Amino acid sequence: METQPVQDHTEFSNPNLKTMFTAEEIKTRVEELGKQITSEYKDKDLIMIGVLKGSCVFMADLMRKIDLNLEIDFMAVASYKDGTVSTGDVEIIKDLMKPIRGKDIIIVEDIIDTGLTLTHLVDLLETRGPNSIRIATLLDKPEPRINKDLKVDYCGFTIPNEFVVGYGLDVAGRFRNLPFIGVVKDPGLL
């Protein structure tokens, strides 16, 4: 029987990851965003919509920093890819549980890059009659942005075009549980 090599590191100390934002930096920025949203949404009927799966960690922390009466809901979407390029075609895997007509919506994302999926999602939700739709994202990666008109209202951090994981972001389901955002040094080693 072959034995597996012993790892001399844990997932959190993986040598193939370089920390981009620490847990403390993320916590501080999420608190700032929560205060901003609290201030701007007083007397509004707020529903936060998390885009699964990546947004779950960010949304859980963010909503606990918003000192308002609010509701949450989730959507899951899949983008069809041709190789490595998103076509912008989006399939709704899980839709909202409640109507959003007359509500003020914040779509919560983990990361925005090309903006194609989010643009489709905003267009879809606008047909359902909300009072407003705004976007909150932990990470904004504008370099590969195809839809340059996409407006991000609440942004944790703007990042360069690097392959990042952690705090909800994954690669093949791995690394979502990291308490920090890390840059993958060599994707070939994953």
Q: Are strands 164-165 and 17-21 parallel, antiparallel or unpaired?
A: unpaired
Distance CA 16, CA 72 (A): 35
Query: Strands of 17-21's sheet, edge to edge?
Result: 17-21, 181-184, 164-165
Coil, helix or strand for 164?
strand
Q: What share of the chain is helix, strand, coil (3-state, %, to 5)?
A: 20, 35, 45
Paired sense of beta strands 46-52 and 104-112, if any: parallel
Decide if 89 is catalytic: no
* Active-site residue (options: 61, 110, 113, 140): 113
DSSP for 64-108, written as a single string: TT--S-EEEEEEEEEEEEETTEEEEEEEEEE--SS--TT-EEEEE
Residues tagged active-site: 113
